[in-house]
Amino acid sequence: MSIKVVTGKVRLSYANVWEPKAQTEGAKPKYSVSIIIPKDDTATLEKINKAIMDAAEQGTAKFGGKKPNLKAIKTPLRDGDIEREDDEAYENAYFLNANSYQQPQIVDKNVEPILDKSEVYSGCYARVSFTFYAYNSNGNKGIAVGLGNIQKLADGEPLGGKTNASDDFKDSEDFI
């Protein structure tokens, strides 16, 4: 059983939501996204922390029949100020990574499907649904996050350092 959470306004990073990518050579491709949650979004953070505890409770069978100490297993919510201190997009934020073998439904503010792949990208703002569940695989124990759906709320500065071609190539008259 999994526990579902829907965020408040978050920022997407490493958004592989249109085409699945394999995490490692030979692995099955997955859709994935890093979800950046502002530290002042206490409502979303409370829902996430409760879902992590509930997933640990529901997953006791995977943890030898008892609820584990959350400090002894891998949990998904991470502090951007500590783990991504050189990346200003993660400043004053927590983040978690979610993935799925199924493509998420991607909709706009009016819950209409977004078909233009350039509309949802690393850096835009959205609400995201995901589920938490316990795992115990190859000696690794923890709580994982399954990607649900994405609702784009607003544009944002694109992440990843990619520039716009119109900015790079202002005038080509000199080369003709």
List pLDDT tens digits, range 42-71: 999 999 999 999 999 998 888 888 888 888
Q: Structural domain of residue 118, as residue ranges?
A: 3-175
Q: What residues are paired with 165 via a beta bridge?
A: none
| Total tally of structural domains belonging to the chain | 1
CA angle 30, 31, 37 (to 5 degrees): 130
Q: What residues are paired with 5 via a beta bridge?
A: 130
Residue 90 parent element (H or E): none
Burial 3-35 (b: 16+ CB within 10 A, else e): bebebeebbbbbbbbeebeeeeeeeeebbbbbb
Greatest mean pLDDT among 2-6, 76-80, 162-166 lies in: 76-80
pLDDT at 38 over 90: yes
| Residue labelled with tokens 């073998």 | 101
For residue 55, give the nearest of 129, 130, 105 by alpha carbon: 130
Taking the CB of residue 103, how many other CB atoms lie within 10 A of it?
14
Q: Is the pTM of this model over 0.75?
A: yes
CA–CA distances in Å: residue 108 to residues 89, 117, 154, 159: 23, 12, 9, 20
CATH number (domain holding residue 16): 2.40.50.140
Q: pLDDT digits over 63-116, tens only? A: 888 888 888 889 999 999 999 999 999 999 999 999 999 999 999 999 999 999
Would you call 55 helix, strand, or coil by DSSP? helix
Residue 150's Cβ-count burial label (10 Å; 0-12, 13-18, 19+) is: buried
| Whole-number Å distance between alpha carbons of 94 and 90 | 7
Give the model's pLDDT for residue 161. Answer: 61
